[in-house]
Amino acid sequence: MALTPGFDLFQLPEEHQELRSVLRDLCEKEIAPHAEDVDRNARFPEEALAALNAAGFNAVHVPEEFGGQGADSVAACIVIEEVARVCGSSSLIPAVNKLGTMGLILKGSDELKAKVLGDLVNGEMASYALTERGAGSDAAAMKTRAVRDGEDWVLNGSKCFITNGGRSTWYTVMAVTDPEKGANGISAFMVHKDDEGFRVGGLEHKMGIKGSPTAELYFEDCRVPGDRMIGEEGTGFKTALETLDHTRPTIGAQALGLAQGAYDYAVGYVQEREQFGKPVAAFQNTQFMLADMRTKIEAARLMVYTAAANAERGHADGGGKLGLMAAAAKTFASDVAMEVTTDAVQLLGGYGYTSDFPVERMMRDAKITQIYEGTNQVCRLVAGRQLLAEGRKR
């Protein structure tokens, strides 16, 4: 499903609209019924994984030459958005599969792509391992080391806050190969769950997205074959940043889905709930809240799709650079998600604050979208630096 030259951001092509329709039906039937239990028991959404795998939506971004659907970036965002609309935890299956393999797709050898992406097409999962306890927003300060040993590399160190850690088969891991070169001394590797010296540590106990495990990874003389390095030695940090330019819109899509799900539920609720002898929806202040929520959602959707279309083309349209659009879309959509889900809880009143209704779960899930794949503060820095760089060129 490649983008056509005449791609119109104001009206999605028919194939994208059909994709949304199919996803909406699948999510309502196969994923939504389990969302509350997944959250309440902090369990992995096995039903969602099975449904997405069966329908081929677990990793739609995989190119056709490696057995995938070759879906464009906007289509991938639609998949994530629709899953997030009913279950934030489940949406991290397709989102993190893309995050965990985007660097490989951008810079990896065909042989390595065939090995890893083939597993994803067959239902396996991938994760992205960049963050460390002492290197979060300042990722270049990482300490995990990789030392050459013959034709192999030996990794030592740890990574934290790894989404779907322990469930994935493959991990894109950033490690320092030359400490004298700073960020230019970082390389990227594909690590397999069965590699000698690799193990998964304990899981984090989180506010939201409880169905998606967030784990610590340990590398203790972990031996990785040399042909599993992504790109050239020393290019790993650049690959990591390029990856985020392509995947930040997917976090925007997740945020967008959470906002849409909360909005949809709130609209239905206020039309049924009565106070002072009439539906809550009849009050003007309710209508103003709903209007603001919908306005923000529609604006966020346009930003996310525009950023995704830019990533697909590999350049920026509309006067912005790829990194700027990706960071801005992720920031705006995640802020909207937090605002809309909070308003949805408010519209439900006391019921909204209970776990008997889904909007409180959506509000908790929405918070993380302001934090991961670059906190919104870091994303604003990225956008600001790009704006200044553009200004200097004029």
386 band by pLDDT with thresholds 50, 70 and 90: confident
Which of these, 225, 209, 253, lies nearest to 75 by C-alpha position? 253
4 pLDDT more than 60:
no
Average pLDDT, the chain: 94
6 pLDDT more than 60:
no
Contacts of 336 (CB under 8 A, 6+ apart): 255, 256, 259, 296, 297, 299, 300
Region of residue 157 (phi > 0: left; psi between -120 and 50: alpha; otherwise: beta): left
Evaluate the CA torsion angle 59, 49, 170, 308 in order and state its sign.
positive
206 pLDDT more than 90:
yes
Q: Which CATH number fits domain 126-235: 2.40.110.10, 3.40.390.30, 2.40.50.140, 3.40.1410.10?
A: 2.40.110.10
Residue 9: the pLDDT is 53
287 pLDDT more than 80:
yes
For the structural domain made of 14-121, what CATH number should be given?
Answer: 1.10.540.10
Helix (H, G, I), strand (E, B) or coil at 158: strand
Taking domain 237-393, whether its CATH number is 2.40.70.10 is answered by no
302 pLDDT more than 70:
yes
Contacts of 372 (CB under 8 A, 6+ apart): 161, 163, 251
Neighbours of 116 (CB within 10 A): 25
Q: Region 329-357: what's the mean pLDDT?
A: 97
Residue 273: the pLDDT is 94
Residue 2: the pLDDT is 46
- Tokens 């950033």: give the residue: 174
- For 94-135, how does the pLDDT look when each residue is reduced to its tens digit (9 = 90+)? 999 999 999 999 999 999 999 999 999 999 999 999 999 998
* CA separation, residue 311 to residues 3, 74, 81, 104, 128 (Å): 11, 9, 17, 16, 19
Residue 136: the pLDDT is 80
In angstroms, rounded to a whole number, what is the distance separating the alpha carbons of residues 28 and 41? 20
* Same-fold call for 14-121 versus 237-393: no
Any idea which residues carry the catalytic annotation? Answer: 373
* CA separation, residue 309 to residues 157, 304, 378 (Å): 37, 9, 22
318 pLDDT more than 60:
no
Range with the poorest average pLDDT among 45-49, 126-130, 138-142, 242-246: 138-142
| More confident of the two residues 312 and 133 | 133
Residue 235: the pLDDT is 97
Helix (H, G, I), strand (E, B) or coil at 248: helix
- For 154-203, how does the pLDDT look when each residue is reduced to its tens digit (9 = 90+)? 999 999 999 999 999 999 999 999 999 999 999 999 999 999 999 999 89
Domain coordinates in residue numbering, the chain: 14-121, 126-235, 237-393
Evaluate the CA torsion angle 371, 377, 382, 386 in order and state its sign.
positive
In angstroms, rounded to a whole number, what is the distance separating the alpha carbons of residues 137 and 371? 10
